[in-house]
Structure 1
Amino acid sequence: EYRYRVPGEYGAIDIFTLGSDGEEGGVDSAADIGSWSRD
């Protein structure tokens, strides 16, 4: 599930997912991924 925030904290629009657990934070497959992430 993707979410978006306008205005974004990191740009005009932030697009992000909370990972496999659906909660903020997490590691591996449960890690959050956002349009501002560069990993």
Structure 2
Amino acid sequence: MRNPFIPSRSPVCEIANLVLIFGVTFAGLTAAAAALVASVMP
């Protein structure tokens, strides 16, 4: 049985991994920017 925690090197898996990483990073930056704007706005 394969270990599901070892990622395969298929291109689809690579693209999905990059999309996931960039999506989480973008969501974090957006949340930080929204919190900053909300704290500055009266």
- Per the TM superposition, whether the score is higher than 0.5 is no
- When Rg is computed on C-alpha atoms for both structures, the one with the higher figure is 2
TM range (shorter): under 0.3
User: More helix by proportion, 1 or 2?
Assistant: 2
Give the TM-score of the pair, scaled to structure 1. 0.20
Higher relative contact order (CA 8 A, sep 6+): 1
Give the TM-score of the pair, scaled to structure 2. 0.20
